[in-house]
Structure formats: structure tokens, C-alpha cells
Amino acid sequence: MKPFEPLDSIAVPILQANLDTDQILPARYLQKPRSDDFGQYLFRDLRLRKDGSEVPGFVLNRPPYRQGKIMVGRSNFGCGSSREHAVWALYDYGFRAVIAPSFGDIFFSNALKNGLLPIVLPVEVVDKLLDQIAAEQGAQVKVDLAAQTVTAPDGTTHRFAIDPFAKHCLVNGIDELDYTLSQMQHIVAFERRHEAENR
Amino acid sequence: MASERAPRTLFEKIWSKHRIMERDDGQVLLYIDNHLVQDGAAPAFEMLRRRGIAPRAPQRTFATPDHYVPTDSRDLNTVADPEKRRMAEALRQDSARAGIPFFGLDDRRQGIVHVVGPEQGLSWPGTTIVCGDSHTSTHGALGALAFGIGATEVSHVLATQALWQRKPRTMRIAVDGALGAGVSAKDVVLSIIGRIGTAGATGHVVEYTGSTIAGLSMEGRLTVCNMSIEAGARAGMIAPDDTTFQYLAGRPFAPAGQAWDDAVTMWRNLPSDADAAYDREVALVAGDIQPMVTWGTSPEDVVPITGRVPDPAGVSEAGRREALTRALAYMGLTPGTSMTDLRIDHVFIGSCTNGRIEDLRIAAGVVKGRRVAAGVEAWVVPGSGLVKEQAESEGLDRIFKDAGLQWRYAGCSMCLGTNGDMVAPGKRCASTTNRNFVGRQGPGSRTHLLSPAMAAAAAVTGRLTDVRKLLDNAA
Ligand code: SF4
């Protein structure tokens, strides 16, 4: 995982509530190897027609939004399946953060493990942010993970919460498994006890 | 004797028993008793290989392919797409290399992993169960803490047999009273989702309680817990009782002899203590529950079969109005239409929600002596090879075939179409599955979620139908 860098980027509004992972990454690409560029499959059926031509009007087909690294969505973003591919698609396309009032639980943890920062902000704040970035294509939003703040185009700054450990992993590009492997003695000891109790 | 500890829920009892350690930020390393693996797991095995780590506890792992297997034959070579073929093939190889028990296509016990786990007695009360698939919540029906995880987490569990988790909140959903004729577990869970919404239980583990739930068969309980994820829940669970123990007794991977007696003694202590508190509570009355059917593109877009397609004009909130309009356009529906006026092209009976023997018995009971309506293509896909065998020994396959339904081999099939079994664009499918998302059963497919009885009724009438009408006629 690459270390998370401060973001000052165009933000992309996605106005659909309960955006499910089937929309973010359709099931017919689930068998592709991780070495593929999943960005090409992102929102495939919303973004592109069957013949591969662009759906006019879809937000990522409007030039300034193409460069966006921050996505702003509505509540229950990423609900549905456990497919980590949905996160890979957003990441490979270039996104590094998603801001929403709430997330599907599995999507949220998948995102953290792949360098995509899921940010929960109150629904009023997200609504205002969506208004601003939809009104002015190319409006910039700042995300500072160290300070745990999001700065909207109108200059207002909003603090967000994040687990310190997840933050540590993101900032340093560390993967959780390394840490767990360093704690293996605890797992082994627990397992011995657990198996004896359940025999 | 009164216990000195604070009253605990079923969830809390399992959680505390599997707590290995806690991190500074409050995340808990949870021991995983049972790791189920299906044919989407190739990326997770690949992650481990790249780090030079071998799966640590193959004896606590179990694998069977379901998403990519063909359902018209047992020959993997009939899967045209080499990448898809490769997924099922990779699972066999990865399992063999690691020494993980594996039921392949040549094994009559193969099937959808969430059907096979309980069927084989792999899913026990009081245990932690994970799988790289969101519908792992199914196994909570046996009184386990079971939840879906992503690929990175699958590789973490393979490497360590443990997983970091923040303690979820708890929610109790109580359903009390008797269900009416033609009303099933599927209608119960669809009603719950209609009531609380697809984000209704986000961040929570749901425990289903009440006399209706206690009265359900194990099959029915599995159906309810299966769709917990469609209510946004991390997991769903039901306290183990005699129904659970009778279901598990004698299954191949269940404890046996003295170990069985000891296990049951332990399992009897699992139900939530009388005064245990939940973060949220919801209650439903069984008598209010009707046969349900979805009209839209989210499982919460659900109405009783006696209802109508909603009208966006009546919705005040702009975002919701827009979503509704979009859903109706995708589904090809006109506001105000009676649900029973909707003609259907496909029927799909199967999946981890409703592919068990009881589901097939109910569906067969409805189609018996009737014919699939002209122009309708109806499929029955058993959840496992053993469900298929059992159904055949009861003559259910004959009933289906005589009525004009296709009788196929076990797998996920048309639930999400990754094996190529798909609903064509613009076609309408009455489906016993769990998701009606845009494109779920194939690009442009239009899905109506309903129970096996309702799906069978749709098959023989060619339209969405109140199955109670057919029951009345039959009586
Ligand atoms: S039957 Fe459907 S929901 Fe169940 S595991 Fe298979 S694809 Fe997923």
C-alpha cells in the first residue's frame, strides 16, 4: 500500500443514495486478476454504453471531473456485496478518498485496507459539499488526513474521525497483516486455550 | 443461582469468547473458528502467495466453488470464458496446495457455500464464521457470529486465523405471532427490510427473536439471517434451541458422541440473558405480514403483493423522488400499476436465500398439477448437490419438469450471473434471490424479489400473483 498523501483535488459528486457495489463494479469483471486496471470497469454501466461509447451527462464523462481524486456521495455508499473490486476500481481510476454520510460496513473496511480513505461527515455537511461541487465543475476540496479535516470549496473546514490505527497504516502505507503477524504469539496462546475449552 | 455478571446478549457471549487482544484504538483481534472459502477467493490466495505465506489453519477452512460453476452440466470446460473457468479451477488448486477440505464439481456435496456449511454441520452455535462473501450472515441462523469480509481480510484470516474488528452495536428485531397461509420466512425478512431500510441496521449485529422466529424451521431461519446484509447489518443471528440441535445432530462435520452432548450443554447457555440490553429494538407483528414483492432496484423497494407501483409525484423529498423515478424507468414500470398486473419472462428459484430443500418442497407444492405459463422460462437451481438428490428422491424434480420448469445443477447461477446464467436485458424475472440491484441478474435485467411460493405462483400464471389465491383454489 502506498502512503496516503494530502489531497487538494477536484471533487466528484455522485448523487445516488444507497449506491451499491454492483453499480461501482459490475459482477462480470469479478474474475479479472488484480493486476488489471480496474479503473476501466468503474461504474461501467453508468459511465459507458454497451458499445463502449460514453454516456453523455454521466459525471465522470464531464471533463473537469475526470481528474477528481475525491468522490462525494450520499448515505449508505458502497452497500451490497463484499467485493473488494469496488474499492480497487475507485482506487485504480485515481480516487483516494470518498466522503459520505455513511458507508456499507464491508466497503468501509475494504477501503481502509487499500489506501482509499472513507470519510464520514454529517449529512448536512455532505449536502452542502455536494451543492458546491455540483454547481461549480472543478471546485477543489482538500483532505488532510494528518489533521483529519476536509476543506470545502467555500473554505469551511470540517473535522472527521478515524481509527488511530487505520490512520497510522494509511499515513505510512503499512498493511495490517504485518502488525498482526508480529502478534502471532498471542494468537497461538489463545488458540491453545480455546481448543482445550471446546474439546 | 443468579449470575454476578451483567446480562449479556448472544452476540456478546460469542464476541467475548473469541477476543484475543485489543489494540489501542479499541479494535479487537477476534479468533475465527471457521473460514469458508468460495471461488471468488483467488485474489486473496494470490496476496498470500506474493508474501510467501501459507494458510495457517487448513483444518478450520473449507472450500467449495459456487459462483462460477455451470448449472447445465458438471463439466467446468463448458464455461466458455477462460477467466471464469480459471476462478473455479484456482480454488481447487489453492485448496489442494494448502490442504483445505474441498468439495469440487465431481463431488455430490458441492454447492453454494452458505447452503453447504449448515448442511454439512460445519456451522456451529457459538462459533465465529467468516467468508469472503456478504451473505455469510446466513450461518447466524444456527447461533453463530457469521459475517462477510473482503479479499484482504480473507488473506488476513488465511494467514492468522484472526481478524481485527471494531465491536458492532446490537439490534433486536422481534417478530411475534402466527404467519398467515402462504406467508414465509422470505416475506418476514422482506417486510423487515421494507420497514427499516437497506441502511437500517448498518454497524449493527441483528438478533432475531420472538415467537415467529422461534417457530421457523432451520431453513426459514437461514433465509431470514441471509438477508440481514440487505438491511445493512454486519451479521444476523438467532439463539440456538432444539430446532437448531435437531437440525445439526448427525451431520457429517457436527460433533458426535460425548462431544455432541458436551457441545449441546454449552450451546444451551448461549441465548441472550433475559435482561440483556440492545442498542436498538424493532418489533413486527407476524399477522401484519403479507406475501411481499419488490418493485424497484433496492431490496427496500418492497410492497405486499396486493400493493401497487408507487408514484414519485407523491414523494416530497427531491433526492428520494429522483431515485424512485430512476428505479421505475429502469424497471419499466408505470406508477399506480397493480403488482399483480406485471407480466414476467423469467422465474428463478434458488440461491443461498431460497435454494434449500424446504424451499423446493414449497415451490413444488404450488406448481404441482399446473403448467408454466406460455412464454415464461422458469428455472429451479438447488442450493447444493445434496439438496438436488434429496429433491429427486422425493420426486420434486418430476413435478418441476412435468410443469415445464428446468431442473439444473447446484450453484449461484442466475442470482448474479457470474457463471453466465443471466436474464436478458429488459426481461422481467421473479426471483427468490436477495438483490434486485440494477444489472444484478445481467445487464438490463429487471428483478422482482419474492418467496419460493410466490415465484412458483408467478411461473404458472405468467405474472406476479398472490400465491394465496392459488392455495384457496387448491383447497
Ligand atoms: S447465491 Fe447469490 S447471494 Fe448467495 S453466494 Fe451465490 S451469488 Fe452470492
Which tens digits make up the pLDDT trace of B98-140? Answer: 999 999 999 999 999 999 999 999 999 999 999 999 999 999 9
Phi, psi of B90 (to 5 degrees): -60, -40
Q: How confident is the model at residue B473 (pLDDT cuts 50, 70, 90)?
A: low
What is the pLDDT, as a whole number, of residue A186?
97
Q: CA of A180: which chain B residue's CA is closest?
A: B160
Cell triple for B83: 477467466
Pocket perturbation via mutation, ligand 1, pick of B64, B225, B230, B352 by most ligand atoms within 8 A of CB: B352
Of chain B residues 204-243, which have a CB less than 8 A from chain A? 229, 232, 234
CA distances from B173 to A188, B201, B236 (A): 37, 10, 10
With vertex at residue B64, the alpha carbon angle to CA B61 and CA B66, rounded to the nearest 5 degrees, is 140
First to last CA, chain A: 40
The strands making up B235-237's β-sheet, listed across from edge to edge, are B235-237, B204-209, B169-176, B280-285
Model pLDDT for residues A174-198, shown as the tens digit of each residue: 889 999 999 999 999 999 999 998 7
Strand order in the sheet with B128-131: B61-63, B34-37, B128-131, B145-148
Beta strands at A149-151 and A157-159: parallel, antiparallel or unpaired: antiparallel
Residue B256 confidence (pLDDT) above 70: yes
Radius of gyration from C-alpha coordinates of chain A? 19
Q: Tell me how far apart the 2 most distant CA atoms of chain A are, in Å.
A: 64
What is d(CA A18, CA A177) in angstroms, rounded to the nearest whole number?
30
* Residue B380 confidence (pLDDT) above 60: yes
* Mean confidence (pLDDT) of chain A: 95
pLDDT band at B319 (very low <50, low <70, confident <90, very high): confident
* In chain A, % of residues over pLDDT 90: 91
- pLDDT of amino acid B317: 87
First to last CA, chain B: 52
Q: Write down the H helix ranges in chain A.
A: 21-24, 44-47, 63-66, 85-93, 105-112, 123-135, 164-172, 176-181, 184-197
Distance B352 CA to ligand 1 centre (A): 6
Using the Cβ of B199 and the Cβ atoms of chain A, whether some distance falls under 8 Å is answered with yes
The reported pLDDT for the residue numbered B472 is: 64
8-state DSSP, A38: G
Contact status of B35 with chain A (Cβ, < 8 Å): no
Kindly state the average pLDDT of the residues A24-28: 95
Of residues A165 and A96, more confidently modeled? A96
The tens digit of pLDDT for each residue in B412-436 reads: 999 999 999 999 999 999 999 999 9
Cα gap B41→B131, rounded to integer Å: 9
C-alpha A199 – ligand 1 centre gap (Å): 33
Q: What is the pTM of this model?
A: 0.96
Which residue's C-alpha cell is 401484519? Answer: B288
Calculate how far, in angstroms, residue B113's C-alpha sits from the geometric centre of ligand 1. Answer: 9
Give per-residue pLDDT as tens, B99-109.
999 999 999 99
Q: What's the confidence (pLDDT) of residue B4? A: 64
Q: Quote the pLDDT of residue B16.
A: 97
When pLDDT is averaged across residues B372-381 and rounded to a whole number, the result is: 98
**Chain A contact present for B106, CB below 8 A:** no
Q: What is the 3-state secondary structure (H, E, C) of chain B?
A: CCCCCCCCCHHHHHHHHCEEEECCCCCEEEECCEEEECCCCHHHHHHHHHHCCCCCCHHHEEECCCCCCCCCCCCHHHCCCHHHHHHHHHHHHHHHHHCCCECCCCCCCCECHHHHHHHCCCCCCCCEEEECCHHHHHHHHHCCEEEECCHHHHHHHHHHCEEEECCCEEEEEEEECCCCCCCCHHHHHHHHHHHHCCCCCCCEEEEEECHHHHHCCHHHHHHHHHHHHHHCCCEEECCCCHHHHHHHCCCCCCCCHHHHHHHHHHHCCCCCCCCCCCCEEEEEEHHHCCCEEECCCCCCCEEECCCECCCHHHCCCHHHHHHHHHHHHHHCCCCCCEHHHCECCEEEECHHHHCCHHHHHHHHHHHCCCCCCCCCEEEECCCEHHHHHHHHHCCHHHHHHHHCCEECCCCCHHHCCCCCCCCCCCCEEEECCCCCCCCCCCCCCEEEECCHHHHHHHHHHCECCCHHHHHHHHC
Q: What is the pLDDT of residue A129?
A: 97
Ligand 1 contact via B412 beta carbon (within 6 Å): yes
Pick the atom of ligand 1 nearest to B134's CA: 8
Q: Nearest-5° angle of CA B210, CA B211, CA B213?
A: 70
Q: What percent of chain B has pLDDT over 70?
A: 98
Q: Chain A contact for B81, CB < 8 A?
A: yes
* Mean pLDDT calculated for residue range A47-61: 94
Which pLDDT score is estimated for A24?
A: 97
* pLDDT of residue B46 exceeding 70: yes
β-strand partners of A23: none
Average pLDDT on A79-92 reads: 96
B261 reaches A (C-beta below 8 A): no
Reading the block at residue A132, the C-alpha cell is 458546491
Write down the pLDDT at residue B226: 98
> Contact B371/B460 with Cβ under 8 angstroms?
yes
Mean pLDDT of chain B: 96
CA-CA distance, B459 to B451, in Å (whole number)? 12
> What 3-state class would DSSP assign to A65?
helix
Which tens digit of pLDDT belongs to each residue from A104-117?
999 999 999 999 99
Task: Name the residue with the closest Cα to ligand 1, atom 4.
Answer: B352
* Percent of chain A topping pLDDT 70: 99
Tell me the per-residue pLDDT of B164-176, one tens digit each, with 9 for 90 and over. 999 999 999 999 9
Helix (H, G, I), strand (E, B) or coil at A145: coil
The 10 Å Cβ neighbour count of residue B181 is 12
Q: Which residue has the higher pLDDT, B80 or B440?
A: B440
Mean pLDDT for the stretch of residues B64-85: 93
Q: Does B275 contact A at CB distance below 8 Å? A: no
Residue B463 Cα, ligand 1 centroid: separation in angstroms?
A: 25
Alpha carbon of A67: minimum distance to chain B alpha carbons (Å):
26
**Domains plus CATH for chain B?**
10-167 (3.30.499.10), 169-240+272-288 (3.40.1060.10), 292-474 (3.30.499.10)
pLDDT of residue B5: 77
pLDDT at B24: 84
Confidence of residue B1 (pLDDT cuts 50, 70, 90): very low
Q: Are B348 and B455 in contact (CB under 8 A)?
A: yes
How far is CA A90 from each of CA A5, A117, B133, B430, rounded to the nearest angstrom?
16, 11, 20, 32
Q: Cβ of B321: how many Cβ atoms within 10 Å?
A: 15
- CA dihedral B60→B165→B21→B14, nearest 10 degrees, is -60
Residue of A18, A51, A92, A199 to mutate, interface with B, max B Cβ within 10 Å: A18
Q: Which helix (H) or strand (E) holds A158?
A: strand A157-159
Output the DSSP codes for A102-143.
-B-HHHHHHHHTTT-EEEE--HHHHHHHHHHHHHSTT-EEEE
